[in-house]
Structure 1
Amino acid sequence: MFRLLVALILAAVLAASTDARAIHPLFLPFGEGGRRLIGIDSCDECIALCQQVHYRTLCRRLATLPAVTTPKQLLDVALRVSAAKAAMAAMRLDGAIRSGGRATGRAMMSSLQTCRESYASLVDSLKTSRTTLKNGGSHDDLMSLLSAAGTYSTDCKDVFDERPELKSPISGAQRHITRLVSNCIELAATIKQP
């Protein structure tokens, strides 16, 4: 019960901060004794690395998380947060598909299903990227996986751009996830592999 209360308080604090939607409290690393710690001992090298990506503020938020002490850990957290956000968007699409029924029409149902498939592929690609990173896979393999993730992250936007009469139920999430994935690609390209 205490952990749930702490998580709710943490969520409220993060929601009050700028660009807090980048970090879901359930995915923050744990400190000693299972306590969640925020913004302790930020990685100076990671903060400098964030200056080289397009969405700097988003990157710096991740760089100040606990347990982010190396660029590799920063990339891992960025991949983990991106996958979590993509999974949440996929769940929202599932809900839209279930609630839409026949009322939304074929074009909307087709668009939602295409988006759902893209987000499922995105989650898989990001998870495989994390595994490749953690297991010391080749940099080329990592970049190939992230390149695919970049494509999957924009597929849903492209579907709705082709049909301007339809409105995406996750347009804000789409934009945010695309930015997260873009940062992952740029971080991976910049980080030196051992």
Structure 2
Amino acid sequence: MGRQHQTASLPLILPAALLLLLGATITEARVLRRVNDRSLFDATSECKKASYPDLCNSLAPSASVGSLTAASIDVATSKAKEAAAISAKLMKAPGTEKLMKSTLCVCRDAFSSVADSLQLSAKNLKDAAHTDLMVNLSAAMSLKANCADAFQDWPGLVSPVADINDHLSKLVSNSLDLASTLKN
């Protein structure tokens, strides 16, 4: 009779043991989160520090602020190269007036310079050269303004690259915001 009692309770003990094991695993995971902040990086909370959080969140998930910053710089670099190519294409389009061509030339050169500064920024980030990173991101931000300024010099001349310049501005701004949160 004692033997039947032990066999009958085995099915009851097994689920209870599994629940205890599962509970311990969940508790260990919670402790791990508290002990090792880097193991569960929250890109959403870091993106709240960016000027354009939704744009930043589109780059998530990332493993760290550094990788999120790198992704932001990479996207901005691609956008700057795209803007330079579009400006060059518009310059060569048949019927483009001389004033528009010269203004788009300023934009093409500005966007190319932005791409160069962003590429240097990516290298600075990899090399952990924080001061240089911030200098090159700030330069990219200043350089991209050259295109808008060129069109402002000619009232009535409408920029065909205003939207891409605005988007680039947001990407560079987010890169700068994220980089500023990195430790020196």
Instruction: Calculate the TM-score normalised by the size of structure 2.
Output: 0.74
User: How many aligned residue pairs are there?
Assistant: 145
The alignment status of 1:72 with 2:66, answered yes or no, reads: yes
Conservation of the 8 A alpha-carbon contact between 2:90 and 2:96: no
User: What stretches of structure 2 of length at least 5 have no aligned partner?
Assistant: 1-39
Q: Secondary structure at the match of 2:59?
A: helix
Query: For 2:145 and 2:174, how far apart are their aligned partners in 1?
Result: 14
What does residue 117 of structure 1 align with?
Answer: 109
RMSD over aligned CA atoms reads 1.4
Deviation digits for residues 52-71 of structure 1 (CA, Å, limit 9, x no counterpart): 1110100111123xxx2111
What does residue 148 of structure 1 align with?
Answer: 139
| CA apart distance, 1:44 | 4.0
Larger helix percent: 2
Aligned partner letter, 2:47: C
Q: Secondary structure at the match of 1:63?
A: coil
Which has more radius of gyration?
2
Q: Secondary structure at the match of 2:157?
A: coil
Instruction: Calculate the TM-score normalised by the size of structure 1.
Output: 0.71
Identify the structure with bigger relative contact order (alpha carbons < 8 Å, sequence gap 6+). Answer: 2
- Structure 1 runs (4+) deviating above 3 angstroms are none
The alignment status of 1:61 with 2:58, answered yes or no, reads: yes
What does residue 98 of structure 2 align with?
Answer: 106
Query: For 1:44 and 1:170, how far apart are their aligned partners in 2?
Result: 36
Query: For 2:45 and 2:82, how far apart are their aligned partners in 1?
Result: 30
Q: Secondary structure at the match of 2:128?
A: coil
Conservation of the 8 A alpha-carbon contact between 1:153 and 1:181: no
| CA apart distance, 1:46 | 2.2
| CA apart distance, 1:136 | 2.0
Percentage of pairs with the same residue: 34
User: What stretches of structure 1 of length at least 5 have no aligned partner?
Assistant: 1-42
Conservation of the 8 A alpha-carbon contact between 2:110 and 2:144: yes
What does residue 86 of structure 1 align with?
Answer: 80
